[in-house]
A and B are shown apart, each in its own frame.
Chain A
Amino acid sequence: MSENMSENYVSNGDTQLVVFKLGREEYGVSILQVQEIKRMIEIARVPNSPSYIKGVVNLRGNILPVIDLKKRLGLSLGEDTDDTRVIIVKIEETVVGIIVDAVSEVTSIDSKSIEPPQTIVNGVNAQYLTGVGKHDDRLIILLNLEAIVGFDQEPGKNN
């Protein structure tokens, strides 16, 4: 899976990222995995689902789950604001939405400037990360979406 990820992030030495904010930190996912970015939409809660799953939404007639990313990563939670966005990503043929505080930009960073993650970054478990990228003076934390979506876990058991 991690090989897959590095493929996602590294193309021609440069990696195109969608950069977004969670709290005060900046995170990035490969633009190749992103389908679209939407304003906050109405989410129907799904009972008995893992707590990090905020619910399901209707995206043009398709029902897809939405993950509360801050909850998933164990970060402190905040209120939704005008900047809150849902990034629709496609992972292994499954489309899910992830809730982020704000989407800042699309940028490309040199793959050489990506460092493997330490065990804990900002209190986030390293299994959800693929690395930390340096871009100018900023640090962009690169996410391992496969692990975040949690295909390796039994659904409904993570309450």
Chain B
Amino acid sequence: MDVNQYMGMFLEESREHLQALNSCVLDLENDPTNLSLLDEIFRSAHTIKGMSATMGFTSVAELTHEMENILDLLRKEKLKADEAILDILFKCIDTLEQLVEAIASGEEAGIDIKPLVETLVRLATGETKPKEAKPKEKETPKVIDDAKTSNMIIDDTEANVINVAKSQGICAYEVQVTLREGCILKSARAYMVMNVLDELGDVIKSVPSADDLEKENFALSFSVVVLSDAEIEKIQSAIMSISEVDAVTVLPLPEIEEPSVKEQPQSSVNEAVKTTQVATPTVKASPAAEHHDKKLKSGQSVRVDIDKLDSLLNLVGELVINKTRLEQIGLSHHLTDLTETIEQMDRVTTDLQSVVMKVRMVPVGQVFNRFPRMVRDLSRDLNKEINLIIQGEETELDRTVIDEIGDPLVHLLRNSIDHGVEHPADRQAKGKNPIGEVRLIARHEGNNVLIMVEDDGAGINPDIIKAKSVEKGLITQAEADKMENADAVRLVFLPGFSTAQTVTDVSGRGVGMDVVKTKIEALGGMVDVETKVNQGSKFKIRLPLTLAIIQALLVDVCQEIYAIPLGSIDSTINIKPSDIKTIQDQEVILLRGQIIPIVRLDKKLGVESASDENKDELFVVIVHMGEQKAGVIVDTLIGQQEIVIKSLGKLLAGIKVLAGATILGNGQVALILDVGTLMQ
């Protein structure tokens, strides 16, 4: 099989499941007795195992297999989910992550899983040893062979199920099926048998496991334990009706006396290992139930290449244009039927357009969900107790932004935990809760998404920051004296402020804050900090929803339509031509006591609007770039609209004043103004 075409899918899904594992194990740490969590962990591990085995990544499969053994013991409550076990599980997950990433980069070797596997085996055996004292409860290792005799091994849980069923008048049968020699599609036949049995009752176990049956890991016969109220004959004939089935034996299972005595005295280590191995497949024996749960859990989603979405967006745009043309035709022909239909179509296309736009958005939780684990590890390393609170993980951002935002957030969180939150003793001394609190909050704010990293730690002392900056030569002493506290704190974003030294000296921030700032700004966002000494700090990141779709104000200049990104617009005002004054030949207006230079858009764009004298009022769009502001005079304001940014192409690259182009709903092209160069 050529597995390469499935590689992408394998990697994506593995990462997803590893993520799920991480968060479930974390939850388990807080709630060690939660069995449904264990089930979930088990499912994820099992999926990874199955996928990696299929793809031929044996080390991943081996490790997950051993993990499953432990998980199974946990689930059966033969093992307690204590700290040691959880640590091992985390270690497994980390190693699996490494393995998967190694596969992604094209090299599978290099990571030794042996020690970990040995630890797992030891754990499994170590914990099962005490059970030797009462071997009666033990399930006997099952050797996969032709089922000529009733050698079905029933473990405690299954025995329980069977007994409950019996008490309700439902019989348990062991069905032994032998396929005809030379049967080609053994797994398909086995599947059909399972199907028939599923219809007649509940399959609770199969030997070999459902998985092995699927992979044709069996000779010619297999056995199934089924709970059914049908008669033996009925089951037998139902199965015999499947072609290529040679023989069927249906044996009613006797009441399982607890404990069923079927132990095989063996060396303890061996036994324990085998036990877990048998225990594992039994869980898989009910594929239907497992499948069902998964469906509920993982939601219904499809992976789509982003390029396809882009072309979908383009096509929808085309549709809108054609719709507009139809509208015009409808108008000129005065056909009521046609106009009605077009109105319908109008609504549908508008919806379609907005849906397609939204399809590109993904919840920010995709980034957030890896942080609990990080915070846990970090706080343990640092001997701090930290409660991470995540809010608003459903807030949506464009995929392009999501991919980039992870690293800056890691940075901020690490800073908060490392330097913000104090040690428990210090906190108590300050009269705070010894458990520190770090909040990661995302929410929409206008056209932006606001992400905040907040801690209730020591805060940043502006005086220390000032002193440090002067010492480093970033500012002069005179500047420092004049500086407001809020501005002083922002010095942490200066490149060159941060070194390992300052981290400890300044009791805080500064680890690569300039990197965070650069990254955020590259994404078209902003980062700011608020802090109070001994009360904590709050880092605010403001990000555009997407890099591809922005809100813009459409304006008209000499019958040409231009778009100004809403992010750089402060306000729009109407002024009288007489409001414009000149200072040193520069036209300015006075707005709320602030002098704002005027930019005449028509001149910048090489056209000439009607002169001011003929107008009673002028429309001015107040734009800003950083701290700078300017008033852009336009002919009319058309309205606010969501636009898709498109490049002007190689031929027109580098034209000043323009940031790109977009296509309006009617198919017309509107150019997007670059506020930065406009103001120069």
Contact = CB atoms under 8 A, between A and B. Distances in A.
B357 to A, nearest CB: 14
Interface string B638-680: 0000000011111111111110010100011111000000000
A53 B658 contact: no
B236 interface: no
Nearest to A55: B669
B549 to A, nearest CB: 14
B661 A56 contact: yes
Contacts of A42: 667-669
A49 B661 CA distance: 14
Interface stretch (B314-322, B423-431, B616-624, B629-637): B314-322
Given A47-B605, A47-B657, A60-B318, A65 B669 contact: no
A58 B667 contact: yes
A58 B663 contact: yes
12 contacts: A42-B669, A44-B560, A47-B658, A48-B658, A56-B648, A61-B314, A61-B318, A63-B661, A94-B651, A150-B651, A151-B650, A155-B655
A45 B651 CA distance: 14
A63 B669 contact: yes
A44 B605 CA distance: 13
A50 to B, nearest CB: 9
Interface string B309-329: 001011101100100000000
- Residues of A in contact with B, size category: 20 to 34
B652 A62 contact: no
Given A46-B658, A49-B655, A57 B650 contact: no
A66 B648 CA distance: 11
Contact of A61 (B560, B648, B653, B663): B663
Given A63-B646, A63-B663, A48 B314 contact: no
A64 to B, nearest CB: 6
B648 A65 contact: yes
B110 interface: no
Contact of A48 (B321, B606, B650): B606
A116 interface: no
A114 interface: no
B604 interface: yes
A30 B77 CA distance: 77
A63 B647 CA distance: 7
A62 B314 contact: yes
Contacts of B311: 61
Interface in A14-67: 42, 44-49, 53, 55-58, 60-65
Contacts of A62: 314, 646
Contacts of A48: 605-606, 655-658
A63 B670 CA distance: 10
B673 to A, nearest CB: 10
A45 to B, nearest CB: 6
B607 A46 contact: no
The 8 A-B residue pairs with the shortest CB-CB distance in the complex, in nearest-first order: A61-B314, A44-B669, A47-B605, A61-B317, A63-B661, A58-B663, A47-B606, A65-B651
A13 interface: no
Nearest to A154: B654
A46 B671 contact: yes
A6 to B, nearest CB: 24
A94 B652 contact: no
B459 to A, nearest CB: 49
Contacts of B668: 42, 44, 58
A44 to B, nearest CB: 4
A61 B313 contact: yes
Nearest to A48: B655
B654 to A, nearest CB: 6
B314 A156 contact: no
A157 to B, nearest CB: 10
B423 to A, nearest CB: 58
A55 B606 CA distance: 14
Contacts of A46: 648, 652, 655, 658, 671
A64 B667 CA distance: 13
A107 B670 CA distance: 38
A42 B669 CA distance: 9
Contacts of A47: 604-607, 655, 657-658, 671
A155 B651 contact: yes
A99 interface: no
B318 A56 contact: no
